[in-house]
Amino acid sequence: MSYIAWIISIGNELLIGKTVNTNAAWLARKLTLLGYDVRRIITVPDNEEDEVEVFRDAIKRGVRVVISTGGLGPTFDDKTSEYLAKALNRKYVINDEALKLVIETFKLKGLELTEPRLKQAKMPEGAKPLPNPVGTAPGIWVEEDNTIIIALPGVPAEMMGIFENYVEPKLREIGPKLHFIERSITVKGVPEADLAPIIEKGMKMSNRVYIKSHPKGHEIRSPLVEIHVYVSSEDVRKAEDEINKVLDFLIFAVKEKGGEVLST
Amino acid sequence: MSYIAWIISIGNELLIGKTVNTNAAWLARKLTLLGYDVRRIITVPDNEEDEVEVFRDAIKRGVRVVISTGGLGPTFDDKTSEYLAKALNRKYVINDEALKLVIETFKLKGLELTEPRLKQAKMPEGAKPLPNPVGTAPGIWVEEDNTIIIALPGVPAEMMGIFENYVEPKLREIGPKLHFIERSITVKGVPEADLAPIIEKGMKMSNRVYIKSHPKGHEIRSPLVEIHVYVSSEDVRKAEDEINKVLDFLIFAVKEKGGEVLST
């Protein structure tokens, strides 16, 4: 069983650099902690051709979980649900359950059920709406072949609210039961290039632990490098042992090079 | 002539949600201001299969400018240059000009020319190195068919330094000579769904101006929506006239709905 995940970020505001894609980082972190292997984050504009293509591509490749953000709102270019139906070759229809959710929300708030609001109840045939605890647009859960596609709003609080309440529990249930464990050390006084052979040696001590250096200071004048060590494993104890073994080696080797380990 | 641009972000740290992709937003903004049409931002892991695939895909589609960030450092998994050579079916060789740059930098700083550092002088055959005013790894400029590929380091200060000094002037020269003009208004007291028909009308007033709403407050309890209006045009005067016409209409229509325009 593959546990590959993709994140699809929809919105021109990301492509003109108006908005930093914090949604993708938040979702990537969540999916990683659930044990999924996030292999792509793809940002596409609000248009049919690009959206349909990227959803179809994910299904064709058998990606297990696809999460999209954006395009569920009430304005003219919020068409993720419609394009998703097209990508799936399904009808784009009023979903009874979604309609109930939308009507309830509006009644509760004393709002009129206008055309742009009614649109939020339309989904690909066979989809399941996910209640929105923050706003009005429900999320969408739909499956095709071996792929689960989850469409969430782009407004961060709504995206997070739906994910934590209705997506995370299900993805945990069907997920790989892996634990993601990580540690960081910060090294002062050794340029990244001189850490490279140490990191390579550390990588060879374990075939699961991944080590990555993140330069923070000035490469030459005052090198400061974070070394991030992480592993996904079914067995927390074993994983911690492995990470500790690698960390002990890194700390030893860095000090031998004259480096100072600032924090672990 | 197409002026489509892609940004390719390379690095596991983005896919495990450790790092927010601020590089992509910065580059997207720069490219947009230069008049390019950023159509995709794709984040891939540090591995051969994904990197080669995405570079080849961009070339096959005739994307005009591809900018990648990440994978130019000295560690074992920094292999963007090597994979780029592979994607281009070119040899991965020591570049004389890059070697000079690298040696100069190291001499200046009194550093040894070790194997991980020498790697930074290796590039796809026919590439041009871009001097790094901040760190040691040069950027890469290489052309294939109608596509320009520019590989930059992932460290933000280095990426920005190379881009502003050596990439931006060239992209401006060969670019579409478009000016990107934008305005925002913030509207209080009208839910996004009630702004939707106004925005749609505004869009119909011009076939170039784009209008997008960004909900900021609480959708129902206290709606606060930024309306962002933008256009890319050869003629600044005309573009400003068009934007002002649309803005005047939006402000009028929003007030008619009982909304308060907080800022323009």
Least confident of A112-116, B53-57, B238-242: A112-116
Spatial CB neighbours of A131, under 8 Å, sequence gap ≥ 6: A101, A138, A139, A162, A165, A166
pLDDT of residue B225: 94
Of the candidates B41, B50, B215, the beta carbon closest to that of A15 is on B41
**Residues of chain B positioned with their CB less than 8 A from the CB of A21:** 20-21, 24-25, 41
pLDDT 10s digits, A184-224: 999 999 989 899 999 999 999 988 899 999 998 776 678 89
Residue A46: helix, strand or coil by DSSP?
A: coil
- pLDDT band at B264; cut points 50, 70, 90: low
Query: Chain B residue closest to A44 (CA)?
Result: B40
pLDDT confidence of residue B17: 97
Q: What is the mean pLDDT of residues A104-126?
A: 86
Query: At A181, is the pLDDT very low, low, confident or very high (cuts 50, 70, 90)?
Result: very high
Contact yes or no for B12/A209 (Cβ under 8 A): no
DSSP-H helix ranges across chain B = 12-15, 22-33, 48-60, 80-87, 96-109, 115-118, 156-162, 168-174, 192-204, 236-256
Comparing B137 with B116, which gets the higher pLDDT? Answer: B137
Smallest CA–CA separation between B80 and chain A, in Å?
15
Q: Spell out which residues of chain A touch residue B40, defining contact as CB-CB under 8 Å.
A: 15, 42-44, 50
- Interface contact A50, partner B, CB < 8 A: yes
Q: Rounded mean pLDDT of chain A? A: 94
**What pLDDT band is residue B109 in, cutting at 50, 70 and 90?**
confident
Within an 8 Å CB–CB cutoff, is residue B236 touching chain A?
A: no
Q: How far is A80 from chain B (nearest CA, A)?
A: 15
- The pLDDT value recorded for residue B237 is 93
What integer is the mean pLDDT of A33-45? Answer: 97
Q: Which of A28, A42, A218 sits opposite B40 (nearest CB)?
A: A42
Structure confidence at residue B47 (pLDDT): 95
Please tell me if residue B226 touches chain A, with a CB cutoff of 8 Å.
Answer: no
CATH H-level superfamily of B179-263: Ferrodoxin-fold anticodon-binding domain (3.30.70.380)
Rounded to 5°, the CA angle A38-A44-A45 comes to: 155
Tens-digit pLDDT profile for residues B148-187: 999 999 999 999 999 999 999 999 999 998 989 999 999 9
Which chain B residues touch A74 with a CB distance below 8 Å?
Answer: 192-193, 196
Query: Closest partner residue to A75 among B14, B109, B199, by Cβ?
Result: B199
Residues 6+ apart with CB under 8 A from A181: A230, A231, A232, A233, A236, A239, A240, A243
Residue B249 in this model has a pLDDT that exceeds 90: yes
Interface test with B, best of A27, A44, A192, A210 (most B CBs within 10 A): A192
Half-sphere exposure of B195 (CA within 13 A, CB side): 33
With cut-offs at 50, 70 and 90, classify the pLDDT of residue B51: very high
Q: What class, spelled out in words, does domain B4-174 have in CATH?
A: alpha beta
Beta carbons within 10 angstroms of residue A263's beta carbon: 9
pLDDT for res B111: 76
List CB contacts (< 8 A) between B43 and chain A: 24, 40-42
Q: A135 vs B213: CB contact, 8 Å cut-off?
A: no
Question: ∠ at Cα A54 (A52, A59), nearest 5°?
Answer: 95
Q: What is the pLDDT of residue A220?
A: 67
- Chain B contact for A156, CB < 8 A? no
User: Residue A225: exposed, middle, or buried by beta-carbon count in 10 A (0-12, 13-18, 19+)?
Assistant: buried
Residue B71 has pLDDT above 90, yes or no: yes
pLDDT value at residue A111: 76
- Tell me the C-alpha distance between A114 and B156, whole Å: 46
Tell me the per-residue pLDDT of A132-159, one tens digit each, with 9 for 90 and over.
Answer: 998 889 999 999 999 999 999 999 999 9
pLDDT band at A263 (very low <50, low <70, confident <90, very high): confident
The domain limits of chain B are 4-174, 179-263
> Rounded CA gap, B240 and A159, in Å?
35
C-alpha triplet A205, B121, A195: angle, nearest 5°? 30
Mean pLDDT of chain B: 94
